Amino acid sequence: MTHKILILPGDGIGPEIIAEAVKVLDVFRAEGSLQAEYEYAHLGGAGYDAAGHPYPEETRKLASESDAILLGAVGGPQYDTLPREFRPEKGLLTIRTDLGLFANLRPAILYDELADASTLKNEVVAGLDLMIVRELNHGIYFGQPRGIRVLENGERQGYNTATYSESQIERIARVAFATAMKRNKRLCSVDKYNVLEVSELWREVVCRVGQAFPEVELSHMYIDNAAMQLIRAPKQFDVIVTSNMFGDILSDEAAMLTGSIGMLPSASLNASAVGMYEPSHGSAPDIAGQGIANPLATILSAAMMLRYSLQLPELAARIEAAVEAVLRQKLRTADIYVSGCEKVSTAQMGSAVMAALK
């Protein structure tokens, strides 16, 4: 069966890192282990430039017809003053809700070879393997009402609303418990129960869903403590489940445990097997066009695509092993470089992964 993969390079370093992930997938296409057709389309600033919209109709149509989507990243300072509806980030948020991609899996794994690249002490991070399950379609990112209004005294006030319904919490909790069952069976739900009603319901529903997973050891932690514990003793965690914004923040934090934000892949899944795969980082405008971005998060996202959407776990494992092999060869992009290693470009890193696959 031929899989339809939609490729959305996006903005900034997006096209550079996507090119490397495609090179890696092409190894499998050439050897016949992956039957796939690619379509390319615009998302984000690229969509705005090409079609006047960050999520062009053409992209929406292709997305609805694909088995999986591989995305680089979106955003850039030149778009930051556009009306919100036309900003790149709005395109990303809309494709996520349009396809119902409510479960965002962000694995933070420290490859042994990168222990020295983390800013944390070796013994704190060595062997780290944690999974953040972030709710992606609701919460304060999407709740109504929202806006900027004028108060009676003439001053303006910005406001957003954090909402979660029981069914929205239930389905992300189920994904988190099922994920924990396949791992070390420990789940930590992160919330702000001591202050927010939305967290009160979150905690109640997570506990209720947990009754169907008696083997999973469930704990709860406040977001502020969780942010601290992730740095103090990250290996206490197996799976973390949390809301949209808390998960956004904790996953960038967790990225630094793995050496660099350039190492953290992600999968955004819905109730069917269709998924979108993207690095957890952004378009890195500060280094775009220089050929120095780390493509590994994107290459590892392609591996997640093979595992979760295309049901090709052996190919996913081969990519992961190739990434490990390349790191053992001491090849490093600038973000994970330490002395004694060889500094390589984005394209050289992609080529090295390709070579390690063969």
- Binding residues, by number, are 76-89, 96, 106, 134, 224, 248, 252, 282-294
Q: Which two tokens stand for residue 115?
A: 């222990």
CB-nearest residue to Mn ion: 248
Least spacing, CB of residue 335 vs ligand NAD, in Å: 4
Distance CA 307, CA 21 (A): 15
Check if 224 is active-site.
yes
Q: Beta strands of the chain (E only): which ranges? A: 3-10, 36-40, 68-73, 103-109, 129-135, 147-150, 156-159, 186-191, 217-222, 239-242, 267-269, 275-277, 331-332, 342-343
Nearest to 246 by CA among 313, 317, 189: 189
Options 48, 55, 111, 141, the catalytic residue: 141
- Output the CA–CA distances (angstroms, integers) from residue 84 to 26, 61, 93, 285, in the order listed: 37, 22, 12, 19
For ligand IPM, the closer CB: 196 or 249: 249
For ligand NAD, the closer CB: 168 or 333: 333
Check if 129 is active-site.
no
Least spacing, CB of residue 159 vs Mn ion, in Å: 22
- Sequence ranges of the binding site for NAD(+): 76-89, 282-294
Options 67, 191, 248, 335, the catalytic residue: 248
Distance CA 35, CA 40 (A): 17
Residue 93 interface partner, choices Mn ion, ligand IPM, ligand NAD, none, CB cut-off 5-8 Å depending on type = ligand IPM
93 binds ligand IPM (CB under 6 A): yes
Residue 293 interface partner, choices Mn ion, ligand IPM, ligand NAD, none, CB cut-off 5-8 Å depending on type = ligand NAD
CB-nearest residue to ligand IPM: 89
Residue type at 318?
Answer: R
92 binds ligand IPM (CB under 6 A): yes
Distance CA 220, CA 194 (A): 12
Query: Which residue in 26, 58, 89, 129 binds ligand IPM (CB under 6 A)?
Result: 89
- Output the CA–CA distances (angstroms, integers) from residue 337 to 13, 31, 56, 319, 341, in the order listed: 18, 32, 38, 21, 7
Output DSSP code: residue 262: G
Distance CA 56, CA 48 (A): 8
Query: Which residue in 67, 113, 191, 248 binds ligand IPM (CB under 6 A)?
Result: 248
**Residues in contact with ligand NAD by the rule CB under 6 A:** 13, 17, 73-76, 89, 92, 261-262, 278, 281-287, 293-294, 297, 335
Least spacing, CB of residue 142 vs ligand IPM, in Å: 11
Residue type at 49?
Answer: D
The footprint of Mn ion (CB under 5 A) covers: 248
**Catalytic positions, written as ranges:** 141, 192, 224, 248, 252
